[in-house]
């Protein structure tokens, strides 16, 4: 028997089975139908709640795009894994060099991605490039705040523009890129006292 004929017959049998099940379902009393629909709706609601809780408290997959983090992240957009659990359990576990997502201090409805440059108590140069402030200007990062910067300083709005950001704005750590290629993000900064 030709494979195409076999596949067509299998599809026809499958359709007949589905039609038979549908006829059987619709021939049942309304109470039965209501129970089936109710159970299905309950399962769907449970699944939606579980997905929401996982994305809100454990981690999620997000699309990051923009020029400020080039060359680490492409401006065309990349799909990354956000780890929210580590921030919730240990907010002080953020290290210099970590990639983080946070709510923008200028527009809390926007989520931005930046690199941590300074932790509370660190003395940081406000703008080593000298584009937005004299390269001799330094600041002590206050308690409960971070100094963040984009990898592409020329195209980034970061702590050079709005100063230290509150740690309460931090949403997650970026752990990996999964599209277009898989890359685990390693911390490139070696801290020297």
Q: Do 86 and 154 share a structural domain?
A: yes
Nearest Cα to Cα of residue 62 among 169, 175, 158: 175
- Name the active-site residue from 27, 68, 76, 173: 68
**Catalytic residue list contains 114:** yes
Is-above-0.85 flag for pTM?
no
Q: Do 110 and 26 share a structural domain?
A: no
Q: Do 85 and 167 share a structural domain?
A: yes
The single residue listed with the structure tokens 């702590």 is 159
Which two tokens mark 95? 């290290």
What is the number of structural domains in the chain?
2
Query: Does some domain include residue 192?
Result: no
| Residue pair 134/151 in contact by the 8 Å Cβ criterion | no
Whether the predicted pLDDT of 6 surpasses 70: no
Q: Do 78 and 22 share a structural domain?
A: no
Supply the range of the domain harboring residue 47.
3-56
Q: Do 123 and 47 share a structural domain?
A: no
- Name the active-site residue from 114, 156, 159, 173: 114
Mind listing the pLDDT tens digit for each residue in 99-136? 999 999 999 999 999 999 999 999 998 888 777 777 78
Backbone angle region of 121, left / alpha / beta, with phi > 0 → left and psi within -120 to 50 → alpha? left
Mind listing the pLDDT tens digit for each residue in 40-54? 999 999 999 999 999
Beta strands in 85-169 (DSSP E): 99-103, 111-118, 123-125, 138-140, 145-149, 165-166
């Amino acid at each position: 028997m030709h494979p195409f004929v076999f596949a067509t017959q299998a599809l026809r049998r499958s359709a007949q089975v589905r039609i038979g099940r549908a006829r059987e379902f619709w021939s049942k009393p309304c109470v039965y139908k209501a129970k089936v629909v109710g159970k299905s709706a309950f399962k769907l609601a449970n699944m939606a709640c579980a997905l929401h809780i996982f994305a809100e408290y454990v981690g999620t997959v997000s699309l990051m795009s923009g020029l400020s983090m080039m060359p680490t992240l492409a401006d065309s957009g990349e799909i990354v894994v956000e780890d929210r659990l580590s921030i919730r359990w240990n907010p002080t576990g953020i290290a210099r060099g970590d990639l983080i997502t946070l709510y923008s201090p200028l527009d809390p409805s926007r989520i931005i991605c930046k690199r941590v440059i300074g932790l509370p108590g660190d003395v940081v140069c406000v703008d080593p490039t000298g584009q937005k402030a004299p390269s001799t200007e330094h600041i002590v990062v206050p308690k409960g705040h971070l100094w963040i910067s984009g990898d592409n300083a020329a195209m980034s709005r970061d702590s050079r523009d709005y100063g230290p950001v509150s740690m309460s704005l931090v949403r997650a750590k970026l752990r990996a890129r999964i599209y277009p290629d898989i890359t685990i993000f390693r911390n490139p900064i070696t801290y020297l006292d």
